[in-house]
Structure 1
Amino acid sequence: MRALPTPATHTVQSHKTLRTDRRGPLLSIELNTPDQGNTVTETLLDELLAVLDQQAPDIRVIVLSGAGADFCLGGDRSEYAEQLAHDPDGSGVRISGAKARRVCEALSANPAVTIARVQGKAIGAGLALALACDLRVAAETATFRLPELALGLPTAWGGLLPRLLNEVGAARVRELVLTCRSFDAQEARALSILQRVVPEQDLDAAVHAWAAPVIRRSPTALRVTKQLFHAYSSATRLADITALDAELMASVLLEREHAPTADGRRTGLYG
């Protein structure tokens, strides 16, 4: 395996929820709140957007990973409850949902090749972040789940559903969404959610095996190829209504928050 070239630029930055490490044309972005399962919060979305919006034009590979035992345990549900408490009309949820869509689009439409490095659990929004990447490798012990329906929520975060339909197929996606069951890395690979499954200790080597040849490619050819992939992928989605994800999520959360139970009491956001 050829080694990556010695970087002319090496910078490491720590943010509130992220850690970034740039080595020449390779940028590593690590979700870095392992004590919280790297859950997706408003702060994390803001920091991801800032990093991706400000990435250097010579970055050719971006690696998205999670610190600790799990890649990402999904969205922070307590934050949704706080947003509704402060904004009963759901505007906070809508703003958060719009940011989620922008983050996932910034990964999928990025001029660099994006690689998801997954270990442990990738749940809900965590799976959406991984799926927005071009290449996805997971440890053989990794597990995945789409729990939204079991939580009384729609599968409407970051454009997850059309990406799943495009990559996996409607029949199999329908079963995963409606049952909310967990599935392992081998099944995720069979579904094309992953391209590779390796022992956890080999994750970095698998990422390196993808990154090394990409970094040697012509920057112009790489950028145009990424644009072609993104354009053709979008075209196959037919009517892509992901712009409505934030509105759908806010509407369902508001209804759930205010719906009375059989005894006349309100259920609250999560029961």
Structure 2
Amino acid sequence: MLMDFKTLQVTDEGSILRVQLNRPETGNSIDGQMLSELLSVLRALEDDNTVRVMVVSGAGDHFSQGGDRSEFPELLEKDTSGSALRSLADKAERVCSALSQLRIVTIARLHGDVIGAGLGLAVFCDLRVGADTCRFRMPEVGLGVPPAWGGVLPRLAEEAGQAWVRRLLLTAEAFDAARAEQLSILHEVVPADGLDAAVARWARPLVRRDPTTVRITKSMLNARAGATQLAVGSYFDGDLLTDAVARQHARGRR
């Protein structure tokens, strides 16, 4: 899989595809361009019969410090109806949905800050290993917007449990790798210099798994999560996020 991107570094190793978020100067903040490029990778994988494992990581000091909020005002200035911002939010939902429904196994390799949209992207991966120095946070409520990015709320609640997610969202408090492992946001915590070894330890047997069995197993695991997502109305997340950001922007212009 040969691809040339501006915000991603993609390395094809045959049975393993490595996708690195590559905006280190912004803390790997996730913008519209990165979402489009992630969609391109995920769509290409739908027709690829070689890759068995995809590893998602971040360049520089952090996995991702969240969504790139700097593009919100520009999108609203260009389109006061909010449709451009809504399109961005819908694109995030498509990325996360495609990631969770991918036929192959996905591994998130986490280090540094894993915040907001960065945590959302990570939690849609099947397996997650993090450095013991990782720092996590869902700051949306503190920033005045709902936790609507990518439909992350039902996925996070499924993985970490409703009670803890309620606390983390409403308080917007930071938590460390040990707490993330306790909440099953991380499946394993290792020293930073042991991340690659941990990923390799998981990937080696996974590339030998029967692809049909993996696909069916993932479909079974996703069935309950899909019902939960519909129940909480996360398909309307794009509208919720757009409305909140537009109101913030309007207040700022007064």
- Structure with bigger gyration radius: 1
Q: How does 1:246-265 map to 2 (within 5 A)?
A: 246-259=238-251
Gaps of 5+ in 2: none
Q: Could you tell me how far apart the structure 2 residues matched to 1:96 and 1:61 are?
A: 27
Q: How does 1:54-203 map to 2 (within 5 A)?
A: 54-55=44-45, 56-203=48-195
User: Counterpart in 2 of 1:38?
Assistant: 28
Q: Could you tell me how far apart the structure 1 residues matched to 2:247 and 2:229 are?
A: 29
SS of residue in 2 equivalent to 1:102 = helix
Give me the identity figure in percent: 48
Contact kept? 1:166, 1:237, Cα under 8 Å: no
Q: Could you tell me how far apart the structure 2 residues matched to 1:217 and 1:51 are?
A: 22
Residue 76 of structure 1 deviates from its aligned partner by: 0.7
1:103-132 deviation per Cα after TM superposition (whole angstroms, max 9, x unaligned)? 111111110001000000011000000000
Q: Could you tell me how far apart the structure 2 residues matched to 1:66 and 1:120 are?
A: 9
1:52 to 2:42 alignment: yes
Contact kept? 2:229, 2:235, Cα under 8 Å: no
User: Counterpart in 1 of 2:216?
Assistant: 224
User: Counterpart in 2 of 1:27?
Assistant: 17
1:31-84 deviation per Cα after TM superposition (whole angstroms, max 9, x unaligned)? 011111111011000000001101223321110000010000101111011111
* Number of residues of Structure 1 aligned to a counterpart in Structure 2: 252
Q: What RMSD over aligned residues (CA atoms) do the two structures have, in Å? A: 1.5
SS of residue in 2 equivalent to 1:27 = strand
Q: Could you tell me how far apart the structure 2 residues matched to 1:119 and 1:14 are?
A: 24
Q: Could you tell me how far apart the structure 2 residues matched to 1:242 and 1:19 are?
A: 30
Structure 1 residues 250 and 134: alpha-carbon distance in aligned structure 2, compared to 1, 3 A threshold: same
User: Structure 2 length as normaliser, TM-score?
Assistant: 0.95
User: Structure 1 length as normaliser, TM-score?
Assistant: 0.90
Q: Could you tell me how far apart the structure 2 residues matched to 1:223 and 1:202 are?
A: 29
Aligned with 2:198 (options 206, 210, 216): 206
Contact kept? 1:162, 1:237, Cα under 8 Å: yes
Q: Could you tell me how far apart the structure 2 residues matched to 1:82 and 1:159 are?
A: 23
Q: Could you tell me how far apart the structure 1 residues matched to 2:201 and 2:141 are?
A: 37
SS of residue in 2 equivalent to 1:159 = helix
User: Counterpart in 2 of 1:233?
Assistant: 225
